[in-house]
Each structure stands twice: as structure tokens, then as C-alpha cells.
Amino acid sequence: MQDVTRNSYSLYKRETGSRTIWYVRFWDDETQSYSSGRSTGQTAKPAAHRQVQKWLAEGIPELKKRDYKTAQNRLMGAIAKHLQDAGVIKKGEIQDAGEIIKLFYAQVTNTQMSSGEGFVAYLYRFWDWNGAYVQGRLERGKTIGKRYMEDCRKRIE
């Protein structure tokens, strides 16, 4: 088998709204494949090359781990504000996360949509195999499985 010389990294771009961000994948000799992509934070290819060269010279910085607790607290705060605005709870009233979710679920499932249809009824119609969503996907040549549809309907209950 012939040895193939690989570049130590590969750049590619992703369009994010109105900006183009350059990403890098590093070659791993051990696995004989490129790593997952990582943003260089650069919008120009030459700047992305310089960023990668800097990382190769000084060491690739550790990725920041996602703080799920912070994300959960932010989400709970947003839901609590929604419940306050809807008059379900009073401002400053302390609720634990489980209670907030129960109140939110009750409030959302009992709310009628602008069409007059209840939210739960809408979800059942949406996840119906013969409904407009699924049939529209199939007509556009997209795939969707019956098991997936059944699982989505079970989650409503």
C-alpha cells in the first residue's frame, strides 16, 4: 500500500447568517482521519491559517465545556417569566424547577392557539402520518419513519 502524505490540518468554511466562519480539522495519525471541526473564529481564510499556525506552535486551547446548569437556570428563568407574564405565578414567588415545568405544561396545554385549536390537539394533528407535515415532507422527497412519528405522538401523552 502506498503511503499518502496528509496536511496536518484542513480548513473549511461555514455560512452563519451573513458571515462566513472558517473551521479547522486536524489530522490524527493514530486514527488515520481528521478530527471534528473547530471554529477558528476567523472570517477570512488567511486569518484562519494564521490562527491555526499559532495553535500548532503554542498548543491548541482546550474547548470550553458547556455549563448545563447555567443553561438550565436560564431556561427555568425564561419559563418562570413567561408564567409571571401569563399571571400563573407572582413575581418573586420561588418555585423549584419541577414545579415550574408542571405549571408551564399545564398553562401551555390549556392555551388555545390563534386558530382556536388546543395545543395538544395541534400536536396530535401535526404528528399524524396522514397529516400535512408528513405528507409535505414525503412530497418533497424527504424521508420520515413511521416509528419516529409514533414515538413523537407517544411523547405528547
Q: Are 51 and 38 in contact (CB under 8 A)?
A: no
Output the pLDDT for position 4: 54
What's the whole-number mean pLDDT along residues 96-123?
80
For the cut 70, the answer to whether the pLDDT of residue 130 exceeds it is yes
Domain-located, residue 4? no
Residues 98 and 130 in one domain: no
Residues 81 and 107 in one domain: yes
Domain-located, residue 138? yes
Which helix (H) or strand (E) segment is 71 a member of? helix 68-85
Residue 138, SS3? Answer: helix
Domain-located, residue 1? no
Domain-located, residue 85? yes
Amino acid present at 24: V
What's the whole-number mean pLDDT along residues 138-153?
90
Give the count of domains, the chain: 3
For residue 46, the enclosing domain spans 9-58
